[in-house]
Chain A
C-alpha cells in the first residue's frame, strides 16, 4: 500500500503561486472575492505563507512557503471529528466526507497548521468560470469543512487508467495539480513507502525537515531548505 507524500524544495520555489492557482481551479475552489477576503474568509487549499527572516538586523526579508494540508500520519483533526467526517485512509490521505460533515469546525480549530477551510456561504463563480468547473471534484455546499485532498480524484483516475492498461500504478502516474504545474520543479510527489521513489530519496536529504514535527503529527509534506531554517516554527 502506498503512502503518498509531497516534497517542497524551498530553494527552488520562486513564490510564483502557480500552484495556488492550479489548486484553486483543479478543485473547484470558489474565488470568494475581495469582500470575503477582507472578512478573513477566503478559501484556499494551498496558500503561500510569508515567514519573516533575519529579524535582528542580519538580512531582513521574507520567506515564502507553500502550505497544503500536511496529510499527517497522526492527524489531530481526524481524532476530534464527532461524526467521522474526516478520516485518514489506508494510503495516508486525510479525507473529508462533505455529505456527513456537520460543520462544527472542531477539526479546523484542532489543526495546528490552520489548513482546513470552512464554507461560510455557498460557493459562487463569476460567469465565464461557471462552465469551466472540473467534473471530477464535487462542489461543497455551505456549512461544511473542506481541505486539500492531494487531488485524490487524480489517484482514482490514474488507477483506472493503469487498470485499463493492465499494469501496476507507476511513479508519476498520480500527481496533484500543484505538483504538475510548478514551473520551477520545486514540488515532488510520490510514495514514501517505496524507497526508490523521488520523495523517499529527497526525504533523506540533509536539507529535509517537516513543519512542527515536535507536535508528533508526523506530516507527510517534507520541506527542503539549505542552511539554517529561518522560520520560527
Chain B
C-alpha cells in the first residue's frame, strides 16, 4: 500500500470521526427551536443539492420537483402510518399488506425514493422534447397534475384532508447522514466522467451529443439521482412536520428551493449549502414576525405571506445584481483558500 493511499484512508477515518463527534455534540447541545431549525437546514440542503443536479448541471430548469416530493412522501406515508390510523380512522382502500404494517424509516426511505425515481423518469419524457422555458412550464404542469391527482383520490390519499399521525422518525442522524452522503457523492460526481457529462449537457446539449455523450442515458441518470434524493428529502420533511397535504409541495415550496440554488449559485454544491442556510434562517426568523408579535409594547399585526414577499424580493435582487449567485459554479475547497492566501 502506497503512502498516498494511506493518507486517503486516514482522511476518511478522520472525516468519519469528525462527523460522528460533531453531530453527537450537536445532538446533545441543540433542542427545541434550534434543533428543528438545524433539521430543516439539513433537509433543505438535500432538496437544494438534488434540484441543483437538474437545474444547475444538466441545465433543464425544473420547477416540478414538488410532484416528485409528493409521490415519495405519499409512498412513505402509506408505509409508516400506524395501521390503526390507516384502516381504523381513515378507512383507506389500500391492499391489506400495506394497511397492516408500520415500517421503520429506512424501508420507507427506500421505497419512497424508488417511487420518486419513477416519477423523475416520467419527467425525463418532456426533457427529451422540450427545451428551455417550455420544459419549465411542462414541469410546472407535472406539479399541478400530481397535486390534482392526490386531491382527487380520497380513497387512497384521503384527498384534500391530508394525512396526520406520522411517527416522529426524523432525527439529526438520518437528516445529516443523508445530507453529508449526498454532499460527498455530488462533489465526487462533479470530478467524475458522469458528472462532467451532466455539466456538458448543461453547457451545450447538441455539442455534448456530438462528443459521444448518450443524452438519454445521462438524462435518466441525472433525473433518477435528483428524484431519489428529492423524495428522501420530502419524506424526512414529512416525518418532521408530521402532516401531509396534497398542496404541501406546491409552487411556494419549490420557489424556496429554487431561491436557494439561485442565491447559492447554480451548479455549485457548496453554493447550494450556503443558499439552503441563508433561506432556512431567513424563513425561520421571519416566521414569528409573520404571525404577529409584540416588540417592546409595539404590536406588529400578523402579516401572512410576508416571508414569501421578502423571499421574492431577495431572489429578484440577486438575479439582477449578481445573476451567478454567491458561488457561481465554483466549490469551496482547500485550494481556493490557498490561492486566496497567496
Do A and B come together as binding partners? no
- Which positions in A face B, CB cutoff 8 Å? none
